[in-house]
Structure 1
Amino acid sequence: MTLKNSLAKATAKSAYWLLHDVLHRGGTSLPGKLAVAIDPDILKSIQQDFDLVIVTGTNGKTLTTALITRVLEAGGHQVITNPSGSNMIQGITGTLVTSRVTSNNGKKPIAVLEVDEANVEKVSSAIKPRMFVLTNIFRDQMDRYGEIYTTYDKIVAGIRNAPQAVVLSNGDSPIFTRGDFPNERLYFGFNHVSPEDYQPSKAPTNTDGILSPTDDSVLHYDFITYANLGKYFSVTDQFARPNLRYQVTDVTKLTPKYSEFSIDNTPLRIEIGGLYNIYNALAAFAVGREFEVPARDIKAAFESNAQIFGRQEAINVDGKDVTIVLIKNPVGTNSVIDMMLTENDDFSLLALLNANYADGIDTSWIWDAEFEKLHESHLKAIATGGERYRDMQVRLKMAGFADQSVYEDLTKVVDAIKSLPTQKVYIAATYTAMLQLREQLRSAGYIKGGF
């Protein structure tokens, strides 16, 4: 360990202590920035301390990372992770440098890190991961990433840095069958529909990522779970969805608060709603089994009711049942809307839109989200807010919701929640709006964690 390395670690840990213990803020990005500024090779110097699992993709990274962490801890592993979703290089560095690393029963600690797609190559060039977990690729923050194949190319560049790592991918996403790299590939996906109930048809129009990797022809599907995910096949050659190592064999019940399903015929439940979140649980199940965690321990880990930062958090605000959900792209927003359609009680919606770098500065994606479907729900009132509230206000007006309350100032968000007419309130927020929202809720005493 060099003097520069020691100074970088000490500075990062001091900054983390100040931010986290004194100011009660999250405190991972700034310590990471300081550490890298002092020692640009800081990550390389600590890679021998743990095994690394990189979780990346468009949607579901934070929940998947949290569930993998629970699963591995249930299996007796010590786990280092970035629970707040700080997934760019500075936040990842801050997490690794400030975490205490000790062995547990002779097992090497495991760092399970959510990594922004554009940062996979940087991280894997410094630390060689044991496993990559790929959730999905959807159109997202095109000002940063470009189209989905460009995004995937960024991930593949990172995979090529670690040819010995296992690549555990969502086999229901056709794009993950692409890529020229030598790594072992394992797949997970849904197989809950009986063959007699298949409805073979061409992929829907205006859907990304539905081209065959063999000849770029449009794929067909026996069934679709949502967006471009499902059991696909080509009609021009023999290409089809790869064999699944781990699979959802039954979807039993979907509600806004929990989901019941089976993986490899093991009945499971997670305390979070939405079909899309079952994919996150499936990825975590697969990682757990690859690390030899028994299915019974995975089941216990899933049924823990601890909340996930900003990902469908349930909060009580003076009797209001408030649920915070993250939105950032059309597919993710449509999945949230589909989840709201399973709500049997009347509810209100507060939509918060920001356009900072971490959100994506281009807000045009909101026009591809199907807000019109909310007319089929029990929605009774709608309000907008955030730095780009006018964009969201216009979009919802065009979707047929002309009667909206507007809260331009997010310091008034607690009052906004209280003023909505229903007991149940959903808050759909982009990333930085969600951070600002949580800070207001923390200041008002409704949650313990802020930024």
Structure 2
Amino acid sequence: MSFKSSIAITAGKTSHWFLHNFMHGGTSLPGKLTLKIDPDVLKALAKNYEIVIITGTNGKTLTTALTVKVLQAKYGNVLTNKSGSNMKQGIVTAFLTAQKTSSGKNLAVLETDEANVPIVCEYIKPKMFVLTNLFRDQMDRYGEIYTTYGKILKGVLMHPDALVLANGDAPIFNSKELPNKVVYYGFADKAEKDQLAPANTDGLLCPGCQHILHFKYRSYSNLGKYFCPNCGFKRPKLTYKVDRILAQTPQSSKFTINGHEVDLHIGGTYNIYNALAAYAVGSQLEVEPKTICQALSQNDEKVFGRQEVIDLDGKEVTMILVKNPVGLDQVLEMIKTDDKPFSLAVLLNANYADGIDTSWIWDGDFENLPFDKIPSVLTGGERYKDITFRLRVAGVPEENFAQRESLKDVLAYLKTMPTEHIYVLATYTAVLQLRKLLADEGYIKGGMD
């Protein structure tokens, strides 16, 4: 390690200690300071680690958390950026605060922003890339899905010896020949029937001949057992697959992966994909199936903003991050399965981290919400007027509708909502802001760590 790197790492660790002992924590500032002193410091920090990079549009944070749980069951401590700070500076901070593992195997599981994959890959040598999915997201930052995939591939191609573990149900991940070994996971739980995806679904053109792809079955959006009736392009063979979905509620899912049962204490079909990816990583790193399933079935505290359940004066508030049309629709599908009346709050911001273009809310299927069993609906956030208009168009009864711009007023109104259970759907910075208020009032321990 160079003298410059040593100075940078010492400064970063010192700033992290100060921020976490005297301030309210910090997940990217120590990394920023360290990189300011030594822009190449990540190379020294990551030198002795076997690294798994997890990237894609939806599910990075939860897939990372589940993967860490699986690997910890065998290897002990696993370095990770658990806060979801997934750009270069956040990843540097994760390495600055690493603890040594008792097993002697230094493992790192890094959630990585799609555009930061090639940036990070200049300095580290991944053992494995995990590709979750690609959907239209933050168009002002990423562009369309093919541009985003190109950014990811730029990083992957820097390391042709790394294994690529990809969602085989996503056609885009089978669209390019790679020098890397590629292993696929996906769903195999439905009867087959020739069908098309809805017309407004992204990524439906065959990469070989540009014909519209068909499906033998779909899980959601453009994910499923796809094939091209024109040229024969089709979904690759799956190594890891969900065989059966046994039960689903808004709070849980029970299913089997390669015949092994998992009882996941978080709802949503999209989260079954996340658990499947974690299972695949564990299997590739020689964790036994029984151990993997036990780890995935543990009823742990929810991950920051991902179906995190908070007790608000006796009300059960489930906070869920939403950021793009596909993710939003999956959340709406999930909460529709609740068999009891519930209240709903939707909080919309449009900062850089959220995506400044809010037009995606019009692609969310709010119209099919069961408003007859939602006695109270609240909109809030910096762009509350936009989401209010959207929900009015969707048909929210005016007598059940309230709007609050200030999140302090949102929090006060949540306490008055008439149902025991409240779902709060919020964009990224709105989640951060609301969690800070909840921490300030003592409802949660605070911060993102």
TM-score range, shorter chain: over 0.9
Quote the residue 2:273 is aligned against: 279
1:349-391 CA distances to partner (integer Å, 9 max, x unpaired)?
Answer: 1111111111111111111111111136732211011111111
Instruction: Classify 1:292/1:362 alpha carbon distance in 2 versus 1 (closer, same or farther; 3 Å).
Output: same
Preserved contact between residue 371 and residue 396 of structure 2 (Cα < 8 Å): no
Counterpart residue type for residue 98 of structure 1:
T
Q: Give me the whole-angstrom Cα distance separating, in 2, the residues matched to 1:315 and 1:19.
A: 25
User: Are positions 1:160 and 2:168 aligned together?
Assistant: no
Counterpart residue type for residue 48 of structure 2:
D
Q: 1:192 aligns with which of 168, 189, 196?
A: 189
Residues 64-103 of structure 1 correspond to what in structure 2 (within 5 A)? 64-100=63-99, 102-103=100-101
User: Are positions 1:246 and 2:240 aligned together?
Assistant: yes
Preserved contact between residue 396 and residue 402 of structure 1 (Cα < 8 Å): no
Preserved contact between residue 129 and residue 165 of structure 1 (Cα < 8 Å): yes
User: Are positions 1:320 and 2:315 aligned together?
Assistant: yes
SS in 2 for 1:201: coil
Quote the residue 2:2 is aligned against: 2
1:278-314 CA distances to partner (integer Å, 9 max, x unpaired)?
Answer: 0000000000000010111111111222221111001
SS in 2 for 1:137: coil
User: Are positions 1:54 and 2:49 aligned together?
Assistant: no
- Name the Cα RMSD after superposition: 1.2
1:112-171 CA distances to partner (integer Å, 9 max, x unpaired)?
Answer: 011000100001111010000000000000000000110111101110111110000000
Quote the residue 2:127 is aligned against: 130
SS in 2 for 1:338: helix
Give the Å deviation of 1:399.
0.8
SS in 2 for 1:222: strand
Q: Give me the whole-angstrom Cα distance separating, in 1, the residues matched to 2:184 and 2:376.
A: 42
Preserved contact between residue 341 and residue 378 of structure 1 (Cα < 8 Å): no
Give the Å deviation of 1:450.
1.9
Give the Å deviation of 1:414.
2.6
Quote the residue 2:390 is aligned against: 395
Preserved contact between residue 88 and residue 119 of structure 2 (Cα < 8 Å): yes
Give the Å deviation of 1:5.
0.9
Count of residue correspondences: 445
Q: Give me the whole-angstrom Cα distance separating, in 1, the residues matched to 2:296 and 2:48.
A: 28
1:376-418 CA distances to partner (integer Å, 9 max, x unpaired)?
Answer: 6732211011111111111111111252211211123331211
Give the Å deviation of 1:202.
2.7
Q: Give me the whole-angstrom Cα distance separating, in 1, the residues matched to 2:253 and 2:178.
A: 35
Q: Give me the whole-angstrom Cα distance separating, in 2, the residues matched to 1:268 and 1:372.
A: 33
Preserved contact between residue 203 and residue 218 of structure 1 (Cα < 8 Å): no
Instruction: Classify 1:153/1:326 alpha carbon distance in 2 versus 1 (closer, same or farther; 3 Å).
Output: same
Q: Give me the whole-angstrom Cα distance separating, in 2, the residues matched to 1:121 and 1:370.
A: 34
Mark the runs of 5 or more structure 2 residues left unpaired by the alignment. none
Preserved contact between residue 46 and residue 95 of structure 2 (Cα < 8 Å): no
Structure-1-length-normalised TM-score:
0.96
Quote the residue 1:224 is aligned against: 218
Q: Give me the whole-angstrom Cα distance separating, in 1, the residues matched to 2:220 and 2:197.
A: 11
Q: Give me the whole-angstrom Cα distance separating, in 2, the residues matched to 1:339 and 1:103.
A: 37
Instruction: Classify 1:178/1:77 alpha carbon distance in 2 versus 1 (closer, same or farther; 3 Å).
Output: farther
Preserved contact between residue 75 and residue 101 of structure 2 (Cα < 8 Å): no
Quote the residue 2:368 is aligned against: 373
Give the Å deviation of 1:324.
0.5
Q: Give me the whole-angstrom Cα distance separating, in 2, the residues matched to 1:160 and 1:253.
A: 40
Counterpart residue type for residue 91 of structure 2:
I
Instruction: Classify 1:203/1:153 alpha carbon distance in 2 versus 1 (closer, same or farther; 3 Å).
Output: same
Preserved contact between residue 78 and residue 101 of structure 2 (Cα < 8 Å): no
Aligned-pair identity in percent equals: 52
Q: Which has the higher mean CA deviation after the structures are superposed, 376-385 or 433-442?
A: 376-385
Q: 2:429 aligns with which of 428, 432, 450?
A: 432
1:19-60 CA distances to partner (integer Å, 9 max, x unpaired)?
Answer: 2222233x1211111111110000111222211100000000
SS in 1 for 2:355: coil
Preserved contact between residue 354 and residue 428 of structure 2 (Cα < 8 Å): yes
Quote the residue 2:43 is aligned against: 44
Q: Give me the whole-angstrom Cα distance separating, in 2, the residues matched to 1:396 and 1:349.
A: 11
Q: Give me the whole-angstrom Cα distance separating, in 2, the residues matched to 1:162 and 1:447.
A: 41
Give the Å deviation of 1:262.
0.3
Structure-2-length-normalised TM-score:
0.97
Residues 409-424 of structure 1 correspond to what in structure 2 (within 5 A)? 409-424=406-421
Counterpart residue type for residue 450 of structure 1:
G
SS in 1 for 2:134: coil
SS in 2 for 1:309: coil
Mark the runs of 5 or more structure 1 residues left unpaired by the alignment. none
